Amino acid sequence: MGLTRNRRKKEPEIVIARDTESSSSEEEDDYPLSESEKEDEEVKIELEKSKAKGKAPITVKLKKVCKVCKQPGHEAGFKGATYIDCPMKPCFLCKMPGHTTMSCPHRVVTDQGILPTSHRNTKNPIDFVFMRQLQPRIPPIKPPYVIPDQVHCAVIRYHSRRVTCLEFHPTRNNILLSGDKKGQIGVWDFAKVYEKSVYGDIHSVQVNNMRFSPTNDDMVYSASSDGKVGYTDLETGTSSTLLNLNPNGWQGPTTWNMLYGLDINSDKGLVLAADNFGLLHMIDHRSNNVTGEPILIHKKGSKVVGLDCNPVHPELLLSCGNDHFARIWDMRKLNPGESINDLAHKRVVNSAYFSPSSGTKILTTSQDNRIRVWDSIFGDLDSPSREIVHSHDFNRHLTPFKAEWGPKDASESLIVVGRYISENYNGAALHPIDFIDSSNGQLVAEVMDPNITTITPVNKLHPRDDVLASGSSRSLFIWRPQEKAEMVEEKEKKIVICYGDSNKKGKKQKRGSDDEDEDDDMFSSKGKNIKAKAKTTKSTRKTKA
- Residue-wise pLDDT for 324-347, tens only, equals 999 999 999 999 999 999 999 999
Q: What is the mean pLDDT of residues 495-502?
A: 60
Spatial CA neighbour of 130 closest among 498, 376, 431, 457: 376
pLDDT attached to residue 315: 95
pLDDT in tens, 197-248: 999 989 999 999 999 999 999 999 999 999 999 999 999 889 999 999 999 8
| Distance in angstroms (rounded) separating the CA atoms of residues 498 and 236 | 21
Pairing of strands 107-108, 111-116: antiparallel
- Give the residue, 4 or 141, on which the prediction is more confident: 141
pLDDT attached to residue 250: 85
pLDDT in tens, 137-180: 555 566 788 999 999 999 999 999 999 999 999 999 999 999 99
pLDDT attached to residue 96: 78
pTM value?
Answer: 0.76
Mention every residue, 6+ apart, whose C-beta is less than 8 A from residue 64: 17, 18, 20, 40, 42, 72, 75
List, in sequence order, every residue forming a beta bridge with 199; answer none if it has no partner: 185
Domain 163-412 has CATH 3.40.50.180: no
Dihedral sign computed on CA atoms, order 285, 286, 290, 296: negative
Cis amide bond preceding 32, omega within 30: yes
- Give the residue, 100 or 130, on which the prediction is more confident: 100
| Distance in angstroms (rounded) separating the CA atoms of residues 307 and 209 | 10
Look over the chain and give the mean of its residue pLDDT values, rounded to a whole number: 78
Residue 458 contacts residue 468 (beta carbons within 8 Å) = no
SS (H, E, C) 278-332: CEEEEEECCCCEECCCCEECCCCCCCEEEEEECCCCCCEEEEEECCCEEEEEEHH
Per-domain residue ranges of the chain? 67-108, 163-412
